[in-house]
């Protein structure tokens, strides 16, 4: 494994996007499994999974997360599974959000603060985050600390100082959300300057900022995220054919700039994941 290997994560479906905007967005548990497998085969060593019902409605139902994980396991997918503890687009709150940790995925998202998502608020109060951090520790799941703004990094580090999160931490800088931090080189540089020296970090950009943020991640030595959750298009006016197409592009770009693409085994070593 090279020290500069890049972890490619595919965010498969999310809880905001709809098939009306891109019919290739996976909208059922079986479709999520198939799209995730295609992304893995294209080079994604980590899969960020949201659950949806058979009708495509975002949900935090543990049984549906289990159905997706079972489908991936049965296909002998060795990617690192990173489950969402989000609010299913505002449909879920409280402990229900992190009930999926009972499935003991290797990683799960930890949204480290509240954010305006356009017209609605993605709420993550400090007491809720403390409770969720305790559940992560009990279940032995590594948090992917998602930071939509600089204050989220400050909050995450305060939780660490209180003993609720542990070093070495892994951060995902989520940039370009309407109401969150801008997706700019200057913003990346500043947010990175706040991270602990032993932390690993990744960048994802929302919508049209996805590809520029992928390129910045490759140049800055960060890991990166792509996928239909964040961006439904391959190019202006051209809907992506699926998660695999977006993964294939960043794999090519990584090869062009001389950064090896991390395998799932490499990813586990880089992120200090228990085996």
DSSP of 46-100, one letter per residue?
A: EEEE-EE-TT--EE--HHHHHHHHHHHHHTT--SEEEE--S-TTTT--GGGGGGG
What is the DSSP code (8-state) at residue 262? P
Q: Which helix (H) or strand (E) holds 193?
A: helix 185-193
105-155: pLDDT as tens digits: 999 999 999 999 888 899 999 999 999 999 999 999 999 999 999 999 999
Is domain 8-270 given the CATH code 3.20.20.70 in the classification?
A: yes
Q: Which structure tokens are listed for 243?
A: 């998660």
User: Which residues of the chain register pLDDT less than 70?
Assistant: 1-2, 275
Residue length, the chain? 275
| Rg (the chain; Cα; Å) | 17
CA neighbours closer than 13 Å in the CB half-sphere of residue 208: 4
Strands 120-122 and 115-117: antiparallel
- Residue 87: left (phi > 0), alpha (psi -120 to 50), or beta? alpha
φ, ψ of residue 241 to 5 degrees: the values are -75, -15
Per-residue burial over 3-19, b = 16 or more CB atoms within 10 Å of its CB, e = otherwise = eebbbbbbbbbbbbbee
The predicted structure's pLDDT at residue 46 = 98
The predicted structure's pLDDT at residue 246 = 98
Q: Angle at the Cα of 95 (from 165 to 147), degrees rounded to 5?
A: 45
Q: Which structure tokens are listed for 97?
A: 């959000």
Q: Which structure tokens are listed for 226?
A: 């792509």
- Do residues 194 and 153 touch, judged by C-beta distance below 8 A? yes
- Report domain extents, the chain: 8-270
């Amino acid at each position: 494994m090279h020290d500069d290997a890049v972890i490619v994560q595919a965010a498969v479906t999310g809880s905001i996007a709809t098939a009306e905007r891109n019919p290739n967005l996976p909208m059922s548990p079986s479709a999520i499994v198939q799209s995730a497998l295609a992304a893995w085969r294209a080079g994604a060593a980590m899969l960020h999974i949201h659950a949806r019902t058979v009708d495509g409605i975002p949900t935090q139902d543990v049984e549906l997360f289990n159905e997706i994980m079972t489908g991936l396991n049965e296909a002998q997918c060795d990617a690192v599974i990173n489950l969402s503890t989000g609010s299913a687009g505002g449909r879920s709150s409280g402990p229900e959000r992190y009930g999926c940790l009972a499935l003991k995925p290797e990683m799960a998202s930890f949204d480290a603060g509240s954010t305006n998502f356009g017209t609605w608020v993605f709420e993550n109060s400090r007491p809720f985050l403390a409770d969720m951090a305790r559940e992560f520790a009990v279940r032995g799941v590594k948090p992917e600390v998602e930071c939509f703004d600089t204050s989220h990094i400050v909050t995450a580090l305060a939780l660490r100082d209180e003993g609720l999160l542990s070093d070495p931490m892994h951060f995902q800088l989520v940039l370009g959300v309407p109401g969150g931090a801008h997706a700019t080189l200057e913003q990346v540089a500043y947010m990175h300057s706040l991270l602990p020296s032993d932390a690993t970090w990744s960048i994802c950009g929302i919508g049209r900022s996805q590809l520029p943020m992928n390129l910045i991640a490759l140049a800055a030595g960060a890991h990166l995220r792509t996928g239909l959750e964040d961006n439904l298009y391959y190019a202006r006016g051209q809907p992506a054919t699926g998660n695999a197409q977006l993964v294939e592009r960043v794999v090519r770009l990584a090869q062009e700039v001389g950064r090896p693409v991390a395998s799932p085994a490499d990813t586990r070593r880089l992120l200090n994941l228990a085996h």
